Structure 1
Amino acid sequence: MWNSFSTRQKIGLVFGPVLFITMLVMPLPEGMSPEAARVAAVAFLMAAFWISEAVPIPATAMLPIFLFPALQVMSTAATTINYGNQINFLYIGGFMIAIAMQRWDLHRRIALTIIVRVGSNPQMLLLGFMLATALLSMWISNTATAMMMVPVAMAIIEQNKRHEHLENALVGDDPFGLSLMLGIAFAASIGGVSTLVGTPPNAILAGIAATVYDIEIIFFDWMKLAVPASATMLALTWFVLQLKLKDVHKSEEENRQLRASVRHELQDMGSITQEERHVAIVFGMVAAAWILRGLVDFPALVMVADSAIAMLGAFILFIIPARRENGGFLLDWETAKNIPWDVIILMGGGFALAAGFSESGLTEWLANQLSVLQGVHFFIIIAAVVLMVIFLTEMTSNAATATLFIPVMGALAVSMDLHPFALMVPAALAASMAFMLPVATPPNAIVFASRQIRIAQMASTGIKLNLIATVVISVISYFLLPLIL
């Protein structure tokens, strides 16, 4: 059985429990309570398992349910309530709406429409694919978006190869295919940061903010900060990728044929169906409600949060009939139950861990220890945090990275007499900006499997974007964040 684990997993299986036991038996550091030491031990155990992936990531997230009560940190009831955090219901509702869009191919129609309208040459076609991918990944999981976009892109890449006589080209030798695939992978990650439902680190930030600091992040308030960050990164990423196309010259006829291949994909879908139209209306109403909640004060709805709006939208989809399915509805439970429950459990584990940090006094202890950094310029601290989180995310799940770092970053900010968001927000943004390796994000892995990219090409382009993201996030967090959140 031991041989079924990789070397990395074996290290985690041994190192995690050793760290856990060491933290429990070692003398307490000055000022740390016994409860805080026990929470730290659990955090080290979970970190070792998450980084090594010795145990499935969601399974590790369930450890606090037993360990916190067993170590007398929090009761079972106080621990498990975090797995039903309202942010989890925001994600559940959002996922159900997204699944309805996928069920009726609305997401594909939206993507193809954008590409047809934008794409006029290879550079603009790249921009069209990136815009469509980023827009969809704001509302649909990055993985699902990439999986939907890659086949569309592959059809165009294969047609281009025939025109350029590159049918037998080696992996990575087609600059158009290389740029298009990297554009899809990177745009899926970049677009996801724009909304609270776009990527798990954003939701984890919102949940920890509510659990530890009793601060609600309103959907539209997050967009006011994250959309500029996402748009800036998308534009810079497109600029970097389109440089790979500088030697790709096509005649007007060749450009027309590329556009025609996308238009043909859209025409094959036929006219928009009633089901697509109804799902679009429900989605539009939910998105509008999320945005209006941050703009208009409704006294009668003061207790209605973003999660309640998401769940209402999902409920409506269950009661609107679908003409194409006799006796069916826009969303049924057989479809809805396929939402990624692993992400929901992972976020719950993160919220439980954050609650343990707060209840045990570990957050306060960390804040006191980190106060030694008060003499360092704050911009340098932001940049260091962002760079560290980005490169750690290259090796482990972005959700796990966010779960481990966001509470610590909040403590660091408080130790410097700053709002906890001053470092929590840049850490959350950075957790979605890993571009170097196929294992960093599911979109990276999906496009790498297309055999259009060599790993060295992804790494060389990705490290440039990692550094660009460090600058963009640091600047926006330092200058724009204080004006918004």
Structure 2
Amino acid sequence: MAYNDSRRAAFRLFKKLKYGWIWATSTFTGNFILAIVITSFFRNLGYEDDVNYVFFLSVLAIGLWVTESIPPFAVGIFIIAGLLMGFGTDFILEDHKTPVEMYLGTWTSNVIWLLLGGFFLAEGMSIVALDRALFRFTLNKFGEDPNRLLLGLMLTTAAGSMVMSNTATTAMMISSILPLARLMGKDSEYTKALLVGIPAAATLGGMGTIIGSTPNAIAVGALQEKGISLTFVDWMIFGLPTALIAVLLFWKFLTKKLHLSQVQLDLSEMKGRNQSKKGFERNAVLFTLFITVSMWLSEPLHGIPIAATSAIPIVLLTLFQVIKAEDVRRLPWDTLMLVAGGLALGIAMVDVGLTDIIMEKISQLPIPMVGVALVFAIIAVLISNIMSNTAASAILVPLGLSLPGIWGIAVPLIVALSCSSALLLPVSTPSNAISFSTGMVEQKSFRPGGLLMIILGPILAFLVVLLYTWVFH
């Protein structure tokens, strides 16, 4: 019997491998052909060869990101390789050699180092198992009232996602509430509220800081290329209120829709002390977290760039032996590859003037700039529900950057925040996927909140960012 089971499993794996590469290859080829066809029509408009080439790469990258025929990080590498081939050699473009260092330089941009520092913090917090401590802290502060406890867990999740990855925060918080979810049962409305509310809080909370969500870092990096520098505190001025309001609105929506006031909780079994054997490691992580965040927040005082202070967790957590070589290999390096590729594509679009061409066409539309900004926000949240929000921001931020006047600052920020409002499907965000993978929540449970944020997210981002740019710029 065991032999038959192993044969069946091996056959299923063989089928997956056999037909998986056929699907990926055909999809990649289809995207390539489609990009060539679209570019051939674009060439008829009479633009230079370098503009046409970057347009081709952009269309191909969008298609590959949407269909995921190759992983998103591989698209990032492919973009950089395509730019180097086109502008660094004579194989594709003749007499259009440009310094390709600016495309390779995205690997060492401030955004990459900032994200890497955040990854080390997240890994350190995961290693010392801060999940149970976070749950006990929340329980002590908010009590056993179901509505208040859900609010506390969502706020704790949102706060965590502001200094570490949304995915890592969700994984920690979901593991901390799983005992309660199992105690309540799969059919309990409170279980649904927990498994929908916590990933939503992680994603929405990521709006609060530059490192809270990758689209935020992409927007900051793009604005930096334009000579506009946003500090950690600058972002929090508009990002933190947006995150808190979004989390509170989502919490209120869950309490009303699921009638949580009628739920009875018995948490007597979950109040025991956590016997941690990692006292030194935990204190080391908390100390590193405090020092790093303090340096980020006080950048206007000391003037050290946040990318430089991001080395603090890398040095301290390895010095204290919290993070070892095998832990570093688990870091999401693929995200850095995707971000580097997205930044390189954005630089190329600006450098050859493609963004100016697109924005010129948009400005000729019979709608005011306010309407254009709203269209950007809506497109951002819609495509982020079906593809990586990092990829969505990599596509839209460079376009928004080319808008005239204050809109060239506001729209990239609106796009970044709107990308973090995508909550409709289990695949919309890694946070939703982690929650769905528990098997205790159905796909349809994400829809009501996801539809709510498709409407409220862009509107909230639009209003808060416009207020920020009006006051500070």
Normalised by the length of structure 1, the TM-score is 0.86
- Bigger relative contact order, structure 1 or 2 (CA pairs below 8 A, ≥6 apart): 1
Select which of 1, 19, 22 maps to 1:3: 19
**Seq. identity, %:** 23
> Which residue of the partner structure matches residue 327 of structure 2?
335
CA distance in 1 between counterparts of 2:244 and 2:168 reads 21
Q: CA deviation at 1:334?
A: 2.4
Shift of 1:76: 4.2
Q: 1:31 to 1:119 in 2, by over 3 A?
A: farther
Correspondence 1:80 to 2:95: no
Contact 1:397 1:440 in 2 (8 A): yes
Q: Does 1:221 align with 2:231?
A: no
1:54 to 65, 69, 73: 69
**How far apart are 1:47 and its partner, in Å?**
0.6
Q: Residue in 2 aligned with 1:121?
A: 145
Q: 2:281 aligns with which of 261, 275, 278?
A: 275
Q: Does 1:156 find its partner at 2:180?
A: yes
Unaligned runs of at least 5 residues, structure 2 = 1-16, 88-95
Distance 1:33 1:341 in 2: 36
- The residue number in structure 1 matching 2:382 is 391
Distance in structure 1 (CA, Å) of the matches to 2:161 and 2:372: 30
Q: Name the structure 1 match of 2:167.
A: 143
Instruction: Tell me if 1:482 matches 2:473.
Output: no
- Structure 2 counterpart of 1:39, one-letter code: V
1:130-176 deviations in whole A, cap 9, x for unaligned? Answer: 11111111112111121222232221122234xxxxxxxxx6x3211
1:220 aligned partner, one-letter code: V
Cα distance, 1:114 vs structure 2: 2.3
Deviation at 1:387, TM superposition (A): 1.7
Deviation at 1:272, TM superposition (A): 7.9
Residue 83 of structure 2 corresponds to 68
**How far 1:393 moved relative to its partner?**
0.8
Does residue 190 of the first structure (1) align with residue 204 of the second (2)?
yes
Give the equivalent residue in structure 1 for 2:255: 242
Are 1:20 and 2:42 an aligned pair?
Answer: no
Change (3 A) 1:378 1:119: farther
**Distance in 1 of aligned mates of 2:117 and 2:448:** 38
Partner of 2:317: 317
Q: 1:112 to 1:384 in 2, by over 3 A?
A: farther
The corresponding residue for 1:41 is 56
Give the CA deviation at 1:214.
2.5
Q: Work out whether residues 94 and 314 of structure 1, in 8 Å CA contact, stay in contact via their aligned partners in 2.
A: no
- CA distance in 2 between counterparts of 1:262 and 1:245 reads 24
The letter for the 1-side match of 2:329 is K
For 1:203-236, what per-residue CA distance to the aligned partner results, in whole angstroms no more than 9, with x for missing partners?
111122223x122221111111100000000110
Which string of whole-angstrom CA distances, capped at 9 and with x for unpartnered residues, describes residues 428-461 of structure 1? 1111111111110111112122233222231133
Q: What is aligned with 1:438?
A: 426
Q: Residue 357 of structure 1 is aligned with which of 349, 354, 368?
A: 349
Q: For residue 208 of structure 1, what is the aligned residue in structure 2?
A: 222
Q: Does 1:403 align with 2:417?
A: no
* 2:419 corresponds to 1:427: no
Report if aligned partners of 2:196, 2:445 keep a CA contact under 8 Å in 1: no
Amino acid across the alignment from 1:283: L
Tell me what 1:288 maps to: 294
Number of the residue aligned with 1:324: none
Quick one: structure 1 residues 429 and 368, their matched pair in 2 at CA, closer, same or farther if it must change by over 3 Å?
same
Given that residues 115 and 262 in structure 1 are in contact (C-alpha distance below 8 angstroms), is that contact kept between their aligned partners in structure 2?
Answer: no
Separation in 1, partners of 2:184, 2:85:
61
Q: How many residues align?
A: 448
Aligned to 2:364, the other structure's residue is in SS state helix
Give the Cα separation in 1 of the matches to 2:449 and 2:312: 42
**In structure 2, distance between residues paired with 1:378 and 1:115:** 47
Amino acid corresponding to residue 383 of structure 1 in structure 2 = L
Query: Which AA in structure 2 matches 1:191?
Result: G
Counterpart of 2:371?
380
Q: 2:455 — aligned with what?
A: 467
Cα displacement (A) at 1:29: 5.3
Give me the whole-angstrom Cα distance separating, in 2, the residues matched to 1:393 and 1:43: 17
Report the Cα offset of residue 98 of structure 1: 2.0
Alignment partner, residue 47 of structure 2: 32
Q: Distance in 2 between matches of 1:44 and 1:200?
A: 22
Rounded Cα–Cα distance in structure 2 between residues aligned with 1:456 and 1:306: 40
Counterparts in 2 of 1:484 and 1:234: CA distance versus 1, 3 Å:
farther
Q: Could you tell me how far apart the structure 2 residues matched to 1:454 and 1:130 are?
A: 20
Deviations 1:352-395 (A, max 9, x none): 1011112212122222222214x534443333221221111111
Alpha carbons of 1:25 and 1:463: their partners in 2 closer, same or farther (altered >3 Å)? closer
